Amino acid sequence: MLEWYILSVIGFAVAFDQHRTMMQANHAAPASGLIPIAVDAAAWIGGMATLGLLIAGFFIGAWWWPFLAMAVGTVVNYTGRQVVALDIRWLSCLVTAAVGLGAGFVFLTQVL
């Protein structure tokens, strides 16, 4: 159960962080179709879900779960900023938000 919790937090946190670094660099997602709306929605969902999961971690699991998730998430976010090219960060934002949703669904089905 812990691994799904951490994977969900990391997925949502990376989606938010990739979008944040795109905005700081003034580099927008491709303007074709609904891609810009989907990237913005993934970042908003990622930010809110990260906060919600970190707070819920204190009540659902052991007290150290959120701290472990934040430590692992910080390393993954830093690595993502160094490895993922700026031109495809919009894609990593969408993919990691989907990973966060999937892992969050599995985690919640185990908890409930």
pTM value is 0.90
Give the structural domain span for 84: 2-111
Res 42: pLDDT: 94
What is the number of structural domains in the chain? Answer: 1
The DSSP code for 84 is S
Q: Going by C-beta distance under 8 Å and a sequence separation of 6 or more, which residues neighbour residue 16?
A: 43, 46, 47, 50
Does 94 have pLDDT greater than 90? yes
Q: What is the pLDDT of residues 35-56, one digit of tens each?
A: 989 999 999 999 999 999 999 8
The DSSP code for 1 is -
- Contact assessment for residue 57 and residue 5, using Cβ atoms and an 8 Å cutoff: yes
Res 14: pLDDT: 93
Q: H or E element: which one contains 78? A: helix 65-83
